[in-house]
Structures are given as C-alpha cells and as structure tokens.
Amino acid sequence: MTNEMTYREAVRAAIAEAMTKDDRVFLMGEDVGRYGGCYAVSKGLLEQFGPERIIDTPLSESGFTGAGIGAALGGMRPIVELMTVNFSLLALDQILNGAATLRHMSGEQFNVPLVIRMATGAGRQLAAQHSHSLEGWYAHIPGIRVLAPATLEDARGMLWTALQDPDPVLIFENVMLYNRAGKIAEDAGAVDITRAAIRREGSHLSLITYGGSLWKTLGAADELSREGVEAEVIDLRSLRPLDEETFLASVRKTRRAVIVDEGWKSVSLAAEISSRIMENAFWDLDAPVERVCSAEVPIPYPKHLEDAAIPQVPAIVAAARATLGAAP
C-alpha cells in the first residue's frame, strides 16, 4: 500500500514518528510551534505534542543551537530547525567549535547526538539572504554528517536514522522540494544514510548531483535519452562522508562525468567530487569532468535572474553534450 503526500508532509511524518517512538526527541526553532514552521513542516505538531516538545525559540540561532547541544550532551535527542541555511551562519560557532569538536576534544568522553534541519537553495524569490546553497561549507567540517534528502523516501527515512547517530547530523532540505508530491509506501521507514543511490541507469555518461538538483538532472537525462544518450544519474544523498565507491564505479563505467551542484563553482562540493574523480579514476576518463553550478553572484530576487543564476535543465544538457563531444 502507498500513500500520496508531499515532501513537507514526509518530513512532518518523520518528526512525529520519532517523537512518538522516543520521548527524548523534541523539536526547537523559530516559528516551529504556533506558526507551524516557516515552510509549514511542523504544522499541527504543537497540538499533538505540546509546548514542552515543540518549542518556539527566540530569534537567536546561536542561542538555541547551543541549547540543543547542551540538551544532546544531557541525554536528549533534539531536532534543531534553522529557518534557512543563510541564518545558520549565526550558529556556525556553535556547530563548528562546539558540536563538531566535542568528541575529539574530550577524548571521546562526550558526544553530541544532535540533528539540525535547515532549508537550503533558491527558486522561491527569497533574495540573497535566504536563498544560498551552503551545504558544501558544512561538508568541509570533520565531526559532523551532512545529508541532502531529495526523495520522499529519504525525507521520511533519513531523520530517524540520523537521530540514532551518536554525532551531529545536519539535514539540508531544498526549498523547491517541499511542495513536491508523490507516492510513498505506508511502511516506509529508516533508510541507509551512508550510500549514494543510482536514480537512473545509463552507460554514456554519469550525472552526479544531490538535493533539489536531482529532479532537474533526471529531466536532463530524459531529454538526452531522446537524443539516444543514456545518462546514469547518481544522487549523492550524503555530502559528508561522500560515498566515493558509488560515483567512482559509475564514472569508470561511463567514462564521462558531469557534476550538478547548486553551490557556487569556486571552492565547491563539485570541485571536491571532480578532484576525487581525477585522483582515483583519471585513466578511466575519455573527457574532462564538467561542472554545472550557480553563477558567482548573490542569488538575485527577480524571477528571471534567479532562474538564470542556478542550474537548470538546458545547462545540464549542454554540459553533457560538451563532454560527449570531447575527443577521447
């Protein structure tokens, strides 16, 4: 049996299930209670679980992220919601110098079983202070796990798995996915958060992506298929640690790679993946690795400029054609 639901409903169901299973789990963040969440993810949870477990916080990301770290150290299983990735920078000291380092600095006497959720990405005309994709910054930090669920199953299942992790886990939810609807199994549950997924089999080139760009990349693969090109689409799912084994195996098979990353190209996650391909699969390549990333500008507000600034299907198709046209 399957249920029809949206991505936001899948995340909400995951939070509700976790709180029902484990009374140590609680949610805290700006507007998560009475307002129901900035993206309506937590709508109805206050009425279901009460104000002691659905906690509206002051507008102080550093303050309530620090409180979440303290609660995790005290044996709780907090879910901290940071409204957008841009605002998470106000809590970066707590995440980098606190949560990510405590196990190491305490000689493994302490660990921080904390989950931090945040919206990321552009496409809703929220302008530069609400629209960037900074998950690659966090993937740079040792001591944390970074996840990017793109499907309903991952939105539903990654949270429970993350809550079992003894160390901090950051979950990045692309804003353009919240309204995405589909069918999901009634018994859908925890998923493996250590492996990338092959979302489409192919033999001519590998398209490597994650999060909100997955569906654009699948759209590009469909367009290429009409031209006789079968692209393999890899959904990274975990950005730290990266599942090298899966994407390297794909590249060794197809001998060509395009990386689609909504972050900026300079010093990016796409650059890291490209580097690992060059280090480990250089002699398997028939063409240089191509990258499709956001323009090197703050995300614009006007819709036509916002769309132009972030990866879209035509740019992915063009990059694929470029790598296919390169001389072997």
pLDDT at residue 189 tops 90: no
Closest CA to 190 of 2, 6, 9, 21: 21
Where do we find the tokens 């939105």? 155
Q: Where are the domains of the chain?
A: 2-185, 197-325
Enter the tokens of residue 295. 């323009």
Active-site residues, by number, are 61, 130
With cut-offs at 50, 70 and 90, classify the pLDDT of residue 1: confident
- Residue 40's pLDDT is 96
Q: Which structure tokens are listed for 63?
A: 């303050």
Cβ-contact 54, 27 below 8 angstroms: yes
Given this chain, do its domains 2-185 and 197-325 carry the same CATH topology?
yes
Residue 186 pLDDT? 84
Report how far Cα 87 is from the mean position of its chain's Cα atoms. 16
For the chain, percent of residues with pLDDT exceeding 70: 99
Give residue-wise pLDDT tens across range 50-108.
999 999 999 999 999 999 999 999 999 999 999 999 999 999 999 999 999 999 999 99
Spatial distance between the Cα atoms of 15 and 41, rounded to a whole number of angstroms: 9
Checking phi first, is residue 78 left (phi over 0); if not, alpha (psi -120 to 50) or beta? Answer: beta
How does pLDDT run across 244-263, given as a tens digit for each residue? Answer: 999 999 999 999 999 999 99
Phi (first) and psi of residue 44, to 5 degrees:
90, -15
Report the predicted TM-score, pTM, of the whole model to 2 decimal places. 0.97
Identify the pLDDT of residue 111: 96
Question: In the predicted model, what is the mean pLDDT of residues 193-217?
Answer: 98
- For the cut 60, the answer to whether the pLDDT of residue 327 exceeds it is no
- Residue 2: pLDDT band by 50, 70, 90 thresholds? confident
What confidence score (pLDDT) does residue 326 get? 67
Residue 328 has what pLDDT? Answer: 52
pLDDT of residue 44: 97
- The amino acid that residue 1 corresponds to is M
Q: Percentage of the chain surpassing pLDDT 90?
A: 97
Q: Does CATH number 3.40.50.300 belong to domain 197-325?
A: no
pLDDT at position 305 is 97
In this structure, which topology does domain 2-185 adopt according to CATH?
Rossmann fold (3.40.50)
Whether the per-residue pLDDT at 110 is higher than 90: the answer is yes
Residues 6+ apart with CB under 8 A from 285: 251, 255, 256, 257, 277
Segment 138-148 mean pLDDT: 97
